[in-house]
Amino acid sequence: MKQLAGLLALIACHAAQADEVQVAVAANFTAPMQKIAAAFEQDTGHKAVLAFGATGKFYAQIVNGAPFEVLLAADDETPAKLEAEHRTVPGTRFTYATGKLALWSAKDGYVDGQGQVLKTGDYAHLAIANPKTAPYGAAAIGTLNKLGVHDRVQGKLVQGENIAQTHQFVSTGNAPLGFVALSQVYRDGRFTSGSGWIVPDNLHGPIRQDAVILAKGGANPAAKALAGYLKSSKAREIIRSYGYAL
């Protein structure tokens, strides 16, 4: 009897501690977040349920009552906007990663170490994310302007709806090269395939990616735990291994 009571208490205690948190994750952060969520569940017992997509789409969904409790945005504007509209838990906004832009081709040896291929290459298409809606797309346009090649490549630009689709255009070879998130093509200090150039930070504004706990997650301990976990050294190590700055 005593044992049974102990067991029940243990179950009750576990149920109180292990919660689920619904997380909206920017497409460029898909791979690292899957890894972090697995480690988070192992270390804390909480489960992070992940949805991946474009930040602008998440914004529209959140405003219209989507059940997300934490947002990992691809920019710092969307979380700030949500905070200004009182749709977040005040004071929970922070930068979880700073994105890096890469010029990448699925072909080996196609992209050189200085990105000269942009000026000299005889390519039909250059893929970028939609600059109007995706920060990586805006950074790509900024880079082209800084390099003074924007007008030359204007007619070659094809746009992915988000950075995941942009990567698809390049990885299938339909676009011989494109500006993608470094995290998509980089692991542990090198490109995982093809060839690429890590665009220096001074060629575009920093891609600060902010996270925030949304109003719906205010009462959920798992939401708070996840926000804390993203700042842990274990998570930061994973984030860095995908080529993000911190």
- Give yes or no for residue 165 binding other proteins (CB under 8 A): yes
Contact 235, 132 (CB under 8 A): no
Would you state the structure tokens that stand for residue 69, as one six-digit string?
């409790």
Cα of first residue to Cα of last residue in the chain, in angstroms, is 53
- Give yes or no for residue 90 binding other proteins (CB under 8 A): no
The residues in 167-196 that bind other proteins, with binding defined as CB under 8 A, are 168-169, 172-175
Whichever of 142 and 221 has its CB closer to other proteins, that residue is: 142
Only segment of 35-43, 56-64, 92-100, 188-196 that touches other proteins (CB under 8 A): 56-64
- Residue 87 beta carbon to other proteins: minimum distance, rounded to whole angstroms: 14
Whichever of 47 and 81 has its CB closer to other proteins, that residue is: 81
- Residue 71 beta carbon to other proteins: minimum distance, rounded to whole angstroms: 15
- Give yes or no for residue 127 binding other proteins (CB under 8 A): yes
- Residue 48 beta carbon to other proteins: minimum distance, rounded to whole angstroms: 24
Only segment of 140-148, 151-159, 185-193, 232-240 that touches other proteins (CB under 8 A): 151-159
- Residue 127 beta carbon to other proteins: minimum distance, rounded to whole angstroms: 7
Per CB under 8 A, residues contacting other proteins are 54, 56-57, 59-60, 124-125, 127, 130, 132-133, 157-161, 165, 168-169, 172-175
